[in-house]
Amino acid sequence: MSAAVEPPRAFTAEDYASRMARVVDQAVEVGLDGVVVAPGPDLVWLTGYQPTAITERLTMLVLAPGATPTLLVPVLERPDAEAAVGAPALTVRDWTDGTDPYAAAFEILRTEGQYGMSDATWAAHLLGLQRVLPGSVFRALGECLPMLRAVKGPDELERLVAAGAAADATYEAIVGLPFAGRLETEVAADLARLLREHGHEQVDFTVVGSGPNGANPHHEAGDRRIEPGDAVVLDFGGLMYGYGSDTTRTVSVGEPTQEVRDVHDIVRHAQQAAFEAVRPGVSCQEIDRVARAVITEAGYGEQFIHRTGHGIGVTTHEPPYLVEGEQQALRPGMCFSIEPGIYLGGRFGVRIEDIVVVTEDGGRRLNNTDHRLHLVG
């Protein structure tokens, strides 16, 4: 780990209690009687609890107005649940193998309630709850509370800043290593190693798209040997202190063609224009429109084939999404990627991505490495 990175303050039971209370308030605002949270990123964010066992056994957190948050777990997992940081703010209840877990859930849910349910819930568990509570309605949290985790607090921002700095250090190190003559998988392995050396506990992806493979935005590093003259898309990230990094730069192996230079400049200008458009009150779709307008005006609109960005937090992809049709207004504390790209099938691709946080009067980049086309060996 970089010596300059100090571990952040650990989240406390009070932090988790505050999050749970805030979610209850948000649920009431949209007409819900409560929220049901299955194992996954929402449960980790709300309680600090991440079951280690296979999740075919029903585990769920129930948050409802006027009630103590209740976590229902299999009896064999109760000790782990009670050891979670957020456990002091919870009532932990259990059920035993051989009994009906949905009957246990019935006791803590309203028989005719309106509930938001986390998107990570297994279909089998949703069907089981519907069986014992036929009068209740369950709605996807991604639909009714899409911005549940979108606005980050200061302690969360501290983690995202650290993750972004570690990703920057990884990029600065990777461009000093050889590219020409090596396999994409070898460069990807270096990226993963460097992310861990700079403090990441988890590596989620290491895209190395060389030459024609760069025209696939989510290309998985393969056995193509990188050649002089290739444009190479490097997109990498993971979790540090439980929060995500995600950055993309496009490099050239030796001297690029003029076309690669021109396309790279267009993407760089689109990324900058979108960043400059960030401020509270602007809609998510407007950031997408700004980036897309630059690329379309340059004649490459049909080659920009994905949304401009996605949120980031305890996962590397989460709301808000910067895409046409998303009218959610930006708010201070929201964090997301800005990553326009141009993809020329069979030839090459270019993408530039930073994580950006909305401030009181604009935006702040959490990635600060050079956007200019870097030449590597």
Nearest partner of 63 among 153, 185, 148, judged by Cα:
148
User: What is d(CA 38, CA 123) in angstroms, rounded to the nearest whole number?
Assistant: 11
DSSP letter string, 218-230: TPPP-SPBP-TT-
- pLDDT tens for 344-362 read 999 999 999 999 999 999 9
Residue 161 is predicted with a pLDDT of 98
pLDDT score of 111 more than 80? yes
pLDDT score of 292 more than 70? yes
pLDDT score of 340 more than 60? yes
- The backbone region for 94, taken as left when phi is positive above 0, alpha when psi lies in -120 to 50, beta otherwise, is beta
User: Whole-model pTM?
Assistant: 0.94
The neighbour count for residue 80, using CB atoms within 10 Å, is 15
Confidence at 55, pLDDT banded by 50, 70, 90: confident
Q: Distance of alpha carbon 325 from its chain centroid, rounded?
A: 20
Residue 3 is predicted with a pLDDT of 43
- Using the 8-state DSSP alphabet, how is residue 213 labeled? G
Going along 56-173, which residue ranges are E strands? Answer: 60-63, 70-74, 91-95, 114-117, 137-140
pLDDT score of 5 more than 90? no
Domains identified in the chain and CATH numbers: 13-144 (3.40.350.10), 154-376 (3.90.230.10)
Q: Which pair of structure tokens corresponds to residue 26?
A: 């948000």
The neighbour count for residue 25, using CB atoms within 10 Å, is 10
What is the rounded radius of gyration, in angstroms, for the C-alpha atoms of the chain? 23
Q: Which pair of structure tokens corresponds to residue 310?
A: 């996605």
- pLDDT tens for 125-179 read 999 999 999 999 999 999 999 999 999 999 999 999 999 999 999 999 999 999 9
